[in-house]
Structure 1
Amino acid sequence: MQFSEFVSFFGWMTVVNYAILCLWLAIFGGAKQHLFFLHTRFFRLTEQQFDLIHYCGMGLYKLLIIAFSLTPFLVMNSLF
Protein backbone atom coordinates (compact mmCIF):
# COMPACT_ATOMS: atom_id res chain seq x y z
CA MET A 1 0.00 0.00 0.00
CA GLN A 2 1.11 3.50 -0.70
CA PHE A 3 1.17 6.27 1.84
CA SER A 4 -1.74 8.13 0.20
CA GLU A 5 -3.89 5.00 0.56
CA PHE A 6 -3.28 5.00 4.32
CA VAL A 7 -4.29 8.66 4.51
CA SER A 8 -7.48 7.88 2.58
CA PHE A 9 -8.16 4.84 4.76
CA PHE A 10 -7.93 6.82 8.01
CA GLY A 11 -10.04 9.62 6.55
CA TRP A 12 -12.84 7.27 5.55
CA MET A 13 -12.52 5.37 8.82
CA THR A 14 -13.09 8.66 10.66
CA VAL A 15 -16.15 9.49 8.55
CA VAL A 16 -17.70 6.04 9.01
CA ASN A 17 -17.09 6.02 12.77
CA TYR A 18 -18.60 9.50 13.21
CA ALA A 19 -21.61 8.35 11.15
CA ILE A 20 -22.01 5.38 13.51
CA LEU A 21 -21.79 7.73 16.49
CA CYS A 22 -24.44 10.04 14.98
CA LEU A 23 -26.68 7.04 14.25
CA TRP A 24 -26.29 5.87 17.86
CA LEU A 25 -27.24 9.33 19.11
CA ALA A 26 -30.24 9.52 16.77
CA ILE A 27 -31.52 6.09 17.75
CA PHE A 28 -30.96 6.82 21.43
CA GLY A 29 -32.72 10.17 21.14
CA GLY A 30 -35.61 8.90 19.08
CA ALA A 31 -36.31 5.50 20.57
CA LYS A 32 -35.01 5.86 24.10
CA GLN A 33 -38.05 4.35 25.81
CA HIS A 34 -38.09 1.35 23.48
CA LEU A 35 -34.36 0.76 24.05
CA PHE A 36 -34.82 1.16 27.80
CA PHE A 37 -37.63 -1.40 27.79
CA LEU A 38 -35.53 -3.79 25.70
CA HIS A 39 -32.50 -3.50 28.00
CA THR A 40 -34.47 -3.78 31.23
CA ARG A 41 -35.77 -7.16 30.08
CA PHE A 42 -32.22 -8.48 30.45
CA PHE A 43 -30.67 -6.21 33.12
CA ARG A 44 -31.94 -4.46 36.22
CA LEU A 45 -31.31 -0.82 35.36
CA THR A 46 -32.81 2.46 36.42
CA GLU A 47 -33.41 5.07 33.76
CA GLN A 48 -30.55 7.16 35.18
CA GLN A 49 -28.15 4.21 34.95
CA PHE A 50 -29.30 3.53 31.40
CA ASP A 51 -28.67 7.16 30.38
CA LEU A 52 -25.29 7.17 32.09
CA ILE A 53 -24.17 3.99 30.35
CA HIS A 54 -25.14 5.29 26.94
CA TYR A 55 -23.68 8.78 27.38
CA CYS A 56 -20.42 7.38 28.77
CA GLY A 57 -20.33 4.87 25.93
CA MET A 58 -20.79 7.64 23.38
CA GLY A 59 -18.10 9.72 25.04
CA LEU A 60 -15.66 6.81 25.11
CA TYR A 61 -16.40 5.94 21.48
CA LYS A 62 -15.81 9.58 20.50
CA LEU A 63 -12.46 9.64 22.32
CA LEU A 64 -11.43 6.39 20.62
CA ILE A 65 -12.36 7.83 17.22
CA ILE A 66 -10.23 10.88 17.92
CA ALA A 67 -7.30 8.83 19.18
CA PHE A 68 -7.25 6.03 16.62
CA SER A 69 -8.63 7.49 13.40
CA LEU A 70 -8.82 11.29 13.41
CA THR A 71 -5.38 11.95 14.91
CA PRO A 72 -3.53 9.54 12.56
CA PHE A 73 -5.42 11.06 9.62
CA LEU A 74 -4.46 14.61 10.59
CA VAL A 75 -0.81 13.68 11.24
CA MET A 76 -0.44 11.75 7.99
CA ASN A 77 -2.31 14.40 6.05
CA SER A 78 0.05 17.09 7.31
CA LEU A 79 3.05 15.00 6.24
CA PHE A 80 1.70 14.33 2.78
Structure 2
Amino acid sequence: MTVAQLTDFFGWCSLINIILLSLAALGLLLAKQRVIDIHQRWFHLDKEQLDARYFDYLAKYKLAIVMFNLVPYLALQIMA
Protein backbone atom coordinates (compact mmCIF):
# COMPACT_ATOMS: atom_id res chain seq x y z
CA MET A 1 0.00 0.00 0.00
CA THR A 2 1.31 3.43 -0.85
CA VAL A 3 1.31 6.51 1.35
CA ALA A 4 -1.32 8.07 -0.94
CA GLN A 5 -3.61 5.07 -0.55
CA LEU A 6 -3.22 5.09 3.23
CA THR A 7 -3.90 8.82 3.31
CA ASP A 8 -7.09 8.32 1.30
CA PHE A 9 -8.12 5.43 3.55
CA PHE A 10 -7.70 7.39 6.78
CA GLY A 11 -9.34 10.43 5.23
CA TRP A 12 -12.44 8.44 4.31
CA CYS A 13 -12.45 6.68 7.70
CA SER A 14 -12.34 10.07 9.40
CA LEU A 15 -15.17 11.45 7.30
CA ILE A 16 -17.41 8.43 7.81
CA ASN A 17 -16.81 8.35 11.56
CA ILE A 18 -17.39 12.08 11.95
CA ILE A 19 -20.70 11.72 10.08
CA LEU A 20 -21.71 8.81 12.35
CA LEU A 21 -20.76 10.80 15.45
CA SER A 22 -22.76 13.77 14.19
CA LEU A 23 -25.79 11.59 13.49
CA ALA A 24 -25.60 10.02 16.95
CA ALA A 25 -25.36 13.43 18.60
CA LEU A 26 -28.16 14.80 16.43
CA GLY A 27 -30.33 11.77 17.19
CA LEU A 28 -29.86 12.29 20.91
CA LEU A 29 -30.52 16.00 20.56
CA LEU A 30 -33.72 15.64 18.55
CA ALA A 31 -35.19 12.44 20.00
CA LYS A 32 -33.66 12.30 23.46
CA GLN A 33 -36.81 11.41 25.39
CA ARG A 34 -37.71 8.63 22.97
CA VAL A 35 -34.18 7.19 23.20
CA ILE A 36 -34.26 7.47 26.99
CA ASP A 37 -37.61 5.66 27.15
CA ILE A 38 -36.26 2.79 25.04
CA HIS A 39 -33.05 2.47 27.04
CA GLN A 40 -34.85 2.72 30.37
CA ARG A 41 -36.99 -0.26 29.37
CA TRP A 42 -33.97 -2.26 28.18
CA PHE A 43 -31.44 -1.46 30.90
CA HIS A 44 -33.51 -0.22 33.86
CA LEU A 45 -31.44 2.94 34.35
CA ASP A 46 -32.74 6.32 35.44
CA LYS A 47 -32.57 9.46 33.30
CA GLU A 48 -29.47 10.89 35.05
CA GLN A 49 -27.52 7.69 34.54
CA LEU A 50 -28.49 7.58 30.88
CA ASP A 51 -27.51 11.23 30.37
CA ALA A 52 -24.07 10.49 31.79
CA ARG A 53 -23.69 7.37 29.66
CA TYR A 54 -24.70 9.20 26.48
CA PHE A 55 -22.19 11.94 27.18
CA ASP A 56 -19.50 9.36 27.98
CA TYR A 57 -20.27 7.44 24.78
CA LEU A 58 -20.04 10.53 22.58
CA ALA A 59 -16.84 11.70 24.29
CA LYS A 60 -15.12 8.31 23.94
CA TYR A 61 -16.22 7.94 20.33
CA LYS A 62 -14.88 11.41 19.50
CA LEU A 63 -11.58 10.60 21.20
CA ALA A 64 -11.31 7.32 19.28
CA ILE A 65 -11.92 9.16 15.99
CA VAL A 66 -9.16 11.62 16.78
CA MET A 67 -6.68 8.96 17.90
CA PHE A 68 -7.32 6.29 15.28
CA ASN A 69 -8.43 8.29 12.24
CA LEU A 70 -7.47 11.96 12.33
CA VAL A 71 -3.99 11.65 13.79
CA PRO A 72 -2.84 9.00 11.28
CA TYR A 73 -4.44 11.01 8.46
CA LEU A 74 -2.64 14.21 9.51
CA ALA A 75 0.67 12.35 9.97
CA LEU A 76 0.38 10.91 6.47
CA GLN A 77 -0.51 14.33 5.07
CA ILE A 78 2.64 15.76 6.67
CA MET A 79 4.75 12.90 5.28
CA ALA A 80 3.50 13.36 1.72
TM-score range normalised by the length of the shorter chain: over 0.9
Give structure 2 stretches of 5+ with no counterpart: none
Tell me what 2:28 maps to: 28
User: Does residue 77 of structure 1 match 2:80?
Assistant: no
Give the letter for the 1:62 counterpart. K
* Aligned-partner Cα distance in 2 for 1:23–1:78: 30
Give the letter for the 2:72 counterpart. P
Q: How many residues align?
A: 80
* Aligned-partner Cα distance in 2 for 1:29–1:21: 12
TM (normalized to structure 1)?
0.96
Alignment RMSD:
0.7
Give the letter for the 1:23 counterpart. L
Q: Sequence identity, in percent?
A: 31
TM (normalized to structure 2)?
0.96
Tell me what 1:10 maps to: 10
